[in-house]
Amino acid sequence: MATFIPCKFDRPAEYQQAMLALIASAERELKLFEDDFEIAGIASREFADALNERLTASDALTITLLALQPDHIARYAPRILDLRQTWSHRFTMLRVGTVPELWHAGFAIADDERYVKRHHFDWPRGEASDDAREIAGLNHVFDELLQLGESALDWHRMVL
């Protein structure tokens, strides 16, 4: 299990490690927002296992995932869709059709105490920290995004 350590990162693998550490640190609430989550490694077994481990270990944990583009998750992350179905009472996934003006980066927040944030959707560079002022700003943006969230048909499976 990864340990959350404040850091700066420049590469996709470093961003993915920071995300896994943030997920592993979550006890009560995990908020995730990305363009399509591909760069975050959502299709990997490690990402799904980390979420499942936290959901299993912490009865209080809720996860809210917001994505601008649901296609990558629908096509390449069946484990995440399975988790959402299994833990539907604690795991919400929504598509955000439009982003608040001037917002252009993915981020995640754990327990309103730690975050991982990229500086722009176009590159992996970013930071992981526990800065309370930054968390307050990210929570404000997340709340705005959540208001714009809607169910993505791509994430619903047909059951025969």
Q: How far is CA 58 from the centre of its chain?
A: 17
- Domains annotated for the chain, with CATH where assigned, are 7-108+132-155 (3.30.870.10)
CB 106 within 8 A of CB 134: no
- What would the pLDDT profile of 39-75 be if each residue is shown by its tens digit? 999 999 999 999 999 999 999 999 999 999 999 999 9
Strand 29-34 and strand 114-120: the pairing is unpaired
- Tokens 């930054």 found at: 134
CB 70 within 8 A of CB 95: yes
Query: What's the whole-number mean pLDDT along residues 2-31?
Result: 96
Distance CA 152, CA 24 (A): 26
CB 10 within 8 A of CB 43: no
Q: Is the pLDDT of residue 160 over 90?
A: no
> Which residues does residue 116 pair with via DSSP β-bridges, in sequence order?
108, 128
Judged by average pLDDT, the poorest of 1-5, 43-47, 129-133, 148-152 is 1-5
* Confidence band for 98, pLDDT divided at 50, 70 and 90: confident
Which tokens go with 70?
């649901």
* Confidence band for 159, pLDDT divided at 50, 70 and 90: very low
Q: What's the pTM?
A: 0.93
Cβ within 8 Å of residue 144, ≥6 positions away:
100
